[in-house]
Structure 1
Amino acid sequence: MILSALLQNVDWTLLYGEEKEINKITYDSRKVQKDDLFVCIIGFQTDGHKYAQKAIEAGATAILCEKEIQSDNKDVTILQTSNTRHALAILSANYYNHPCNSMNVIGVTGTNGKTTTTYLIKSVLDTIGHKVGIVGTIENRIGDKILHADRTTPESLELQELFYEMKQENVTDVVMEVSSHSLDLHRVDGIEYNIGIFTNLTQDHLDYHKTMENYKIAKSLLFQRSEKSVINIDDNAGEFMKQNAKGEVLTFGIDKQADITAKEIDISADGVKFTLCYDNKQYVVSLHTPGRFSIYNALGAIGACIFMGIAMEDIIAGLNSNVGVAGRFQTVKSRKANAIIDYAHTPDGLENILNTAREFVKRKIITVFGCGGDRDKTKRPIMGEIAGKLSDYCIITSDNPRTEDPSAILDDVEEGMKKTNCNYIKLVDRREAICHAVEYGQKGDLIVIAGKGHENYQIFADKTIHFDDVEEVKKAFGEDNL
């Protein structure tokens, strides 16, 4: 592809050089091949501009930079733009010939509920025979084919490549989680969403965004790019998202007046049942995942399906066919206590699952949890206090410590726990913590293992090991596992 065609809709200045035929685009100097375009990205750990010369030596024929660079090789074309992250997104869409334009693209953003909402929509679309692509935290999917996911929303180049593969496989609808990082870091620039969904906004990622206001503004970018928006109006940020939406809006909620609402709610250990109210009609909806938060996820999914013109009976059947998502209120049963494994890693997420558990647990709630290292430190004591108030016994343990001292993270969490009357213990080793919870638990108790959910690894300063909460609790249950 010629360079000028790749640069369509990108603002750029030619520093020197001429038109080139480009092999492919890359932002990783280690992957450069002959006649590639190398894009210099300023990252958190390093700056791509430092590797421009290395890229040229590896065969790059053109360089796109943000900061002016020099090269002795005058056969190389060097261009400058104001934001290479934004440019990379547009270049990538151009390179793959805008694959999104031939698919229905639904974006889901919010602190909690993104993954479950995407899979509820997928279940409905599966029911009516559509071929669905998923971009998300747990995995990426092309129909039945499962692909590994490194982050919630991939970098723009990998994202457009994934869309291209979906198009080649005749995917009709893409349902994707859209993280605040991806919006703020321009990974999803150039994508026009048919539908955007807002689940909620609670404290998370303040290590990056610094303030909740910045976090909220980043989330709102999705609705400025969506033809239609589905917004949780019960959430404090719902009205802000609605005001920032450029197209038609459907609101949903339980407590406030909304276009789509739920009443006559019945929550049990096996799921929820409620009456859906929309367009002066009422429908009975059943879900297999318990909790009030499950209703919000379903209402968001219903709104998107209404915008797609799907019949209500198909929507309800699709929702009922969804058996849940790995690591999202996932139950492991035993002859003694049962366990719930959940990804809850934010104050609101932890509060939701513990409140839900309290609605049907007959005896004690035993909570095993920790907080990630190199992430928002301010939420640690908050989560400690929430766990202490809503549990009968807590085991504070490691999550993904990363480069931080695991014991210091536990101490931060403990500061909040001390404000409650809850009995607790600190065990740095997560396997030991899970085993202790199983030994402590009695018949009728519930062990809530929170924070990692679907993750099958644990990240330390010097290594990443295999670690799966579901596997570990099953091993701890031993012969009592059902």
Structure 2
Amino acid sequence: MVGVNKIYEWTKVKELIGNNQVLFNEITFDSRKAVESTLFVAVKGVHVDGHDYIAKAVANGCSAVLCENVPQEKYENIPFVVVEDSALALGEIASGFYGNPSQELELVGVTGTNGKTTIATLLYELFRNMGFEAGLFSTVANYIGARRLDSTHTTPDPVALNKIMREMVDAGCQYCFMEVSSHAIDQKRIAGLKYMGGIFTNLSHDHLDYHKTFDAYIKAKKQFFDSLSKEAFALVNVDDKNGMVMVQNCKADINTYSIRSMGDFKAKIIESMFEGMQLLINNQEVWTPFIGKFNAQNLLAVYGAAIKLGRPADEVLLSLSKLHSVDGRFQTIRSSNGVTAIVDYAHTPDALKNVIETINQIRQPGQDLITVVGAGGDRDKTKRPEMAKVSVDGSSKVILTSDNPRSENPQTIIEEMMEGIDFKNRIKVVSITDRKEAIKTAILISKRGDIILVAGKGHEDYQEINGVKHHFDDREVIKEIFDMQ
């Protein structure tokens, strides 16, 4: 239990109204969880304002309220802590409440449009392979050492972040690797955290439903690097035109990586096939079961970050060669009759283009690429025609289908995707709303040696339709249909 007066040590307070000796032992920004001995933090969110739920939080029995604006209604025995920015204060208070666990970890954040999950997960696995305990926050799952926790957001809320990091420290973790989404940066979910390093992957078309403009999206990502201390390192992909933009005002030790030009960490693909690729990383060769230029960049970021965290190059390369693909990222499934299916999370035009280009660099004459792809509902609509165009430009045949339609009509989403395909290429396209039927059709029309790309959902094991999540796993569907042949 801590007193309300302790908040002065964690964040800047404008005013405290009421008894500063009142105690609390939990923090929440959800009025439904604002029970006895809880500090309720009223945060102005994207869709709702927590200030509108102060009365409900008090009725539920909360001990104190932190807010930007004090309600007109008077509440006896409830102290109100007034701050300038409650979202910022929530992060700082959560960090202080749990004993600043990020300061006891070597915390590295990974941000960018594509590659975040792969890089963060591989860093987690790399360090565990090298004998260290580590934690992970990712889109697929969170880990405290070997213990898996379900993931609901790419980057959790500040209370969950700090609570889990405290558990990581208590479990003996020395390192923590975290995906840092643009939403989390903009919503100040990472406020109060101390990062040892930050990695920038790339920037392309995504999340404009939230950020509205690409410039706002860039600025959100850049804020992360602006906040790094001079004791931290920043590792940026200079093959992306926004790489150096990210670190223009960065105080951290700036490092670069590249597979196309000069960089502090440099890689070259020597040989590539579906089984893997031979890389030359800073003039040392290593074989890896990953393929594609985008994965070469991801592995180079992992290598660079490990070096910046003080690990010897030979040890890092040996561990790098033992890593395997991340769940739902370029995951291959082969049938008994010689067809290869690839499941990938690619859900942006750029990610989809990278995966298709990688397949086309390896596939042989006579092998067709059949791409099954959709676009998510209630998300950035402007990328839908681009994703369809990328698919058609690089594939022999394309089947447009549902992704997670959410509250939208799946057929409407497909029609909006079709707008990106010119008339002469529409002969290559079939639309099948039912995703299972779309995958089944792709398999039925394939021949020996063909490659089927099922894109968009990757590791996800559900399909969200009209607000309801139904079990659906692309990999399970593919295996089921392969087994029936």
Q: Is 2:378 the counterpart of 1:377? A: no
> Helix, strand or coil: the match of 1:152?
coil
> Is the 1:385–1:419 contact (alpha carbons within 8 Å) kept by the matching residues of 2?
no
Q: Is 2:195 the counterpart of 1:193? A: yes
Look up the match of 1:105.
107
Q: Is 2:246 the counterpart of 1:245? A: no
Identify unmatched segments of 5+ residues in structure 1.
none
User: 1 CA distance for matches of 2:64 and 2:484?
Assistant: 62
TM-score (norm. length: structure 2): 0.95
Q: Is 2:333 the counterpart of 1:332? A: yes
What is the Cα deviation at residue 267 of structure 1? 1.6
> Is the 2:457–2:474 contact (alpha carbons within 8 Å) kept by the matching residues of 1?
yes
Aligned CA distance change for structure 1 residues 458 and 264 (closer, same or farther; 3 Å): closer
Identify unmatched segments of 5+ residues in structure 2.
none
Aligned CA distance change for structure 1 residues 409 and 264 (closer, same or farther; 3 Å): closer
Deviates more, 1:143-152 or 1:14-23: 14-23
1:257 pairs, out of 249, 262, 267, with 262
Deviates more, 1:9-18 or 1:348-357: 9-18
> Is the 1:124–1:314 contact (alpha carbons within 8 Å) kept by the matching residues of 2?
no
> Helix, strand or coil: the match of 1:243?
coil
Look up the match of 2:399.
395
What is the Cα deviation at residue 420 of structure 1? 5.9
What is the Cα deviation at residue 180 of structure 1? 0.8
2:435 pairs, out of 430, 433, 457, with 430
Alignment of 1:261-300 (within 5 A): 261-277=266-282, 282-300=283-301
User: 2 CA distance for matches of 1:95 and 1:21?
Assistant: 12
Deviates more, 1:7-16 or 1:420-429: 7-16
Look up the match of 1:421.
425
Look up the match of 1:42.
44
Q: Is 2:366 the counterpart of 1:361? A: no
> Is the 1:42–1:49 contact (alpha carbons within 8 Å) kept by the matching residues of 2?
yes
> Is the 1:23–1:34 contact (alpha carbons within 8 Å) kept by the matching residues of 2?
no
> Is the 2:269–2:277 contact (alpha carbons within 8 Å) kept by the matching residues of 1?
no
CA RMSD for the aligned pairs?
1.4
Look up the match of 1:405.
409
What is the Cα deviation at residue 103 of structure 1? 0.9
- Residues 221-275 of structure 1: CA deviation (Å, up to 9, x unaligned): 2222331111101101011123232111110112222111123532211112121
Aligned CA distance change for structure 1 residues 355 and 420 (closer, same or farther; 3 Å): farther
> Helix, strand or coil: the match of 2:280?
strand
> Is the 1:457–1:468 contact (alpha carbons within 8 Å) kept by the matching residues of 2?
yes
Identity of paired residues, percent? 37
> Helix, strand or coil: the match of 1:321?
coil
* Paired residue type of 1:318: S
Aligned CA distance change for structure 1 residues 34 and 420 (closer, same or farther; 3 Å): farther
User: 2 CA distance for matches of 1:53 and 1:381?
Assistant: 46
User: 2 CA distance for matches of 1:381 and 1:309?
Assistant: 45
User: 2 CA distance for matches of 1:287 and 1:219?
Assistant: 30
* Paired residue type of 2:318: A
Alignment of 1:450-461 (within 5 A): 450-461=455-466
1:446 pairs, out of 443, 448, 451, with 451
Deviates more, 1:418-427 or 1:311-320: 418-427
How many residue pairs were aligned? 476
User: 2 CA distance for matches of 1:123 and 1:266?
Assistant: 24
User: 2 CA distance for matches of 1:416 and 1:24?
Assistant: 50
- Residues 100-144 of structure 1: CA deviation (Å, up to 9, x unaligned): 111100111110011111122223212321001000100000111
Aligned CA distance change for structure 1 residues 136 and 420 (closer, same or farther; 3 Å): farther
> Helix, strand or coil: the match of 1:477?
helix
Look up the match of 2:140.
138
Aligned CA distance change for structure 1 residues 164 and 419 (closer, same or farther; 3 Å): farther
What is the Cα deviation at residue 56 of structure 1? 0.7
> Is the 1:254–1:261 contact (alpha carbons within 8 Å) kept by the matching residues of 2?
yes
User: 2 CA distance for matches of 1:161 and 1:71?
Assistant: 33
> Is the 1:262–1:276 contact (alpha carbons within 8 Å) kept by the matching residues of 2?
yes
> Helix, strand or coil: the match of 2:328?
coil
Aligned CA distance change for structure 1 residues 449 and 193 (closer, same or farther; 3 Å): same
